[in-house]
Amino acid sequence: MFLRQAYGRLSNALSPNVTEKLVARFSSSTSASKPKKTTQLRKMLESPELEFIMEAHNGLSAKIVQEAGFKGVWGSGLSISAQLGVRDSNEASWTQVMEVMEFMSDATDIPILLDADTGYGNFNNARRLVTKLEQRGIAGACIEDKLFPKTNSLLDGRAQPLADIDEFCAKIKACKDTQTDPDFSIVARVEAFIAGWGLDEALRRSEAYRNAGADAILMHSKKSDPSDIEAFMKAWKNQGPVVIVPTKYYTVPTDQFRDWGVSLVIWANHNLRASITAMQNTTQQIYKDQSLVNVEKKIAAVKEVFRLQKDDELKEAEKKYLPEK
């Protein structure tokens, strides 16, 4: 309404050409006033409503997440490692992960929370990581209280040694002291249940990490039922935002998470897993048929790839900047 009124007043006073330019400039400035990515994530963590973010592992999948309507992206360590063809055991260096995150950030204007494993080392590695994430427009880092190199939490029969509580608290403090944007979020991921400890240890660690400055607690469990999470939420008594990852207890209705007071749900690896199935099926079909006839109509059109790459924007830029032939 305001823009239409402004446009009418401008039209009466100025030439059509000047009016169009001024309104276009005003419109772009108002759209540019969207909150920073860090602020968006902070609002999600502190919202009274249950929020959701979706896994992505490269620029393309991050863009798909945004187009689906999600308000945030989970930069999954498992998924990024897998798409690089290595294990989720810190085999990909943090600089390689950072390169992927930069493409993801460039492709989207919604916040990204990085699965930062253990922070890739001690407090010094973790605080340098925070600096580099801020430089690339990443909204937050989720750091888990295990030892470097980490072991994926969902693997069966593997040792899951936990970090010393005081040392991990110091790592959190170092990250918070290093960040320059006050809205950058540090999420402390508690692996007590994963490592075989009980509720008391999960609470002890969570309270210590919250007191050390963590902006939220991610409570992890690989049980197929939500008993660990339910018990924790009841005992936690809303001391701060809680994030969960229901990969294993996926049958639980999200209304239960709301009732327990969960702040944020992460759908943690499903784009990667969906793409694996799609690529396996397509590749096997082509190998079997020695033809594309049975797959072409089942996959994205090449035009859709160009659209996701914003080819139209390049076309317009070429008209603007390249000399006419």
Per-residue pLDDT tens digits for 187-212:
999 999 999 999 999 999 999 999 99
d(CA 189, CA 216): 9
What pLDDT, in 10s, does the model give residues 67-118? 999 999 999 999 999 999 999 888 999 999 999 999 999 999 999 999 999 9
Pairing of strands 185-190, 216-219: parallel
d(CA 288, CA 282): 10
150: left (phi over 0), alpha (psi -120 to 50) or beta: beta
Mean pLDDT of the chain: 91
What pLDDT, in 10s, does the model give residues 247-284? 999 999 999 999 999 999 999 999 999 999 999 999 99
Please state which of the four CATH numbers 3.20.20.60, 3.40.640.10, 3.40.50.10740, 3.40.50.720 is assigned to the domain occupying 37-269.
3.20.20.60
What is the b/e burial string over 6-37, where b = at least 16 CB atoms within 10 angstroms of the residue's CB? eeeebeeeeeeeebeeebeeeeeeeeeeeeeb
Return all residues near 186 (Cβ < 8 A) that are at least 6 apart. 130, 140, 141, 143, 172, 175, 176, 179, 213, 214, 215
Q: Residue 284's CB: how many other CB atoms inside 10 A? A: 11
Nearest CA-CA partner of 270 in 61, 108, 116? 61
Domain boundaries for CATH 3.20.20.60 within the chain: 37-269
pLDDT value of residue 18? 42
Task: Give me the active site residues, please.
Answer: 88
pLDDT value of residue 247? 97
More confident residue, 32 or 79: 79
pLDDT value of residue 324? 84
pTM of the predicted protein model: 0.88
115: which strand partners?
142
